[in-house]
Every structure is written in C-alpha cells, then in structure tokens.
C-alpha cells in the first residue's frame, strides 16, 4: 500500500516522540566530526590566498571525507531504522558500520558520485573552454549541457536512493546487487520521492531563516520520513498490521 507523503510524515513524527533529543544529538555530533576534520584543509586554502594547489587539495579532502562520512551516515540511518522498528538504539551505532564491510558504502558513494560527475562533465568542460577562450557561444552551450546533465544525474540518484538502506539492512549484500534492488524498488516511486523532497522545502526554508537552528529539528524529521519511505518500498510497513492482528 502506497502512503501519501503527509501520512509518512505523520508516522515519522510519532516515531520520533521521545527520541528528538537523541536524534538531534547524533546529527549534530556527526556534523561536528566532519567539520573538525575538514577545517584544517579549508584554513590551508584560505591562508594560501585562494591558491589553486590548495584549492585542489581542499576539494580532494572534501571527496575523501565525504566518502568516509557516508559510513557514519549509514550508521545514523540504522539508528532511525531502530526508531521506526521500535528497537533500542545507541550512539555506538553511528560508528558500528565501520565494522560491517564499510568498503561497500564507500564504493557505493564513489560510484554514484562518479556517475553524477560523468553526466555533467561535458557541460563543465565546454563551459571552462568558453570562459577561458572568451567564446560566448561555447559558454552558452556549456551552461545548457551542464544543466541538461543534471537531469540524468538526479535520475541516477533517485533510482539508487534506497541502495544504502539495503546495505545497512543486509550485511552480506554487495553494492551492485543493492543498486539493482534499489532500481527495482524505485520503479513507479521516483515521482513520489521527488514530491516528498519538494514537500520539505518549506521546512527547510524555516530552518535556514532561523539561522540554521531549525535544521536541528528539520533534519531528523526528513531522515525519519525517508527511512519510512524505504520501509514502505520493501513492504515492511504493510506487514506491521498483520503482525499486530496475529498477536491479538
């Protein structure tokens, strides 16, 4: 049964009752860890007076740190899955995925990132050539190709959006199999997921307008909702009433 975005949000709010403090703390801790590791590379770039070499080092650090932090993010997803499944969650879960074949998460991230880059690479190259050579036509074509490349890039991201939840749920699952299963599960669901993202725009703006403080509550709300979207896609949420009836 396909639930509306509003219904998934309502269920998510109910699941977060009693867990808001923990959820906010976990997200905040992960952001602090990532920022603390990335900060030296940022300062190196700034103090070098925006040097190109330091910029390349900074961007490389961003990609590497993002690849490692995806492992922690999957640990956070496990915590939200515990909230949804009424299981006990602990802070250690955020780091627990490092002991459950973390190479799967890193490889999955690099593959999705690489596919996205490939989609927008022709436009980026054309745009750089146009800017360097001063050719307005080449720059215009570059912008068109770059924006056009964003469409297949987003389609790839949406198609593979459930892969990391599948990897969290199944320790023996490989990356390619997770991608395949995610693609199958997202058949007919990509539009629903896109609408769900749009439905959070108002909350996101409120979070930004509050100097970012509101995002402390918006982020757990969004993550819990997307977790329930995954649970619905795999049919888990449809099994819950049946289990309840069996226990009566």
The total domain count for the chain is: 1
- Residue ranges making up the domain that contains 164: 5-236
Whether 107 is covered by a domain: the verdict is: yes
Whether 178 is covered by a domain: the verdict is: yes
Render pLDDT for 119-148 as a digit per residue (tens, 0 to 9): 999 998 998 888 888 888 888 888 899 899
Whether 245 is covered by a domain: the verdict is: no
Whether 159 is covered by a domain: the verdict is: yes
Render pLDDT for 60-102 as a digit per residue (tens, 0 to 9): 899 889 988 999 999 999 999 999 999 999 999 999 999 999 9
CA distance 119 to 116: 5
Contact between 141 and 130 (Cβ < 8 Å): yes
Whether 111 is covered by a domain: the verdict is: yes
Contact between 53 and 43 (Cβ < 8 Å): no
Whether 73 is covered by a domain: the verdict is: yes
Render pLDDT for 204-234 as a digit per residue (tens, 0 to 9): 898 889 888 899 999 999 999 999 999 999 9
| CB neighbour class for 236 (10 Å; exposed up to 12, middle 13-18, buried from 19) | middle
Whether 143 is covered by a domain: the verdict is: yes
């Amino acid at each position: 049964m396909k639930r509306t975005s509003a219904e998934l949000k309502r269920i998510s709010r109910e699941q977060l009752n009693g867990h808001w403090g923990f959820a906010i703390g976990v997200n905040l801790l992960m952001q602090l860890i990532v920022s603390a590791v990335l900060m030296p590379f940022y300062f190196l770039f700034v103090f070098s007076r925006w040097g190109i070499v330091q910029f390349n080092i900074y961007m490389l650090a961003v990609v590497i740190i993002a690849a490692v932090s995806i492992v922690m993010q999957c640990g956070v997803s496990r915590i939200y899955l515990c909230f949804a499944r009424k299981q006990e969650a602990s802070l250690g879960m955020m780091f627990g995925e490092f002991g459950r074949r973390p190479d799967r998460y890193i490889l999955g991230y690099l593959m999705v990132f690489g596919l996205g880059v490939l989609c927008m690479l022709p436009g980026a190259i054309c745009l750089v050539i146009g800017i360097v050579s001063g050719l307005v036509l080449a720059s215009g074509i570059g912008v068109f190709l770059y924006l056009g490349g964003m469409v297949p890039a987003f389609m790839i991201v949406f198609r593979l959006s459930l892969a990391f939840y599948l990897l969290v749920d199944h320790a023996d699952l490989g990356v390619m199999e997770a991608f395949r299963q995610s693609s199958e599960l997202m058949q007919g669901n990509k539009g629903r997921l896109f609408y769900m993202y749009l439905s959070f725009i108002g909350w996101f703006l409120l979070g930004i307008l509050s100097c970012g403080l509101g995002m402390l509550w918006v982020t757990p709300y969004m993550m819990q909702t997307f977790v329930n979207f995954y649970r619905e896609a795999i049919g888990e949420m449809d099994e819950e009433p049946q289990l309840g009836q069996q226990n009566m």
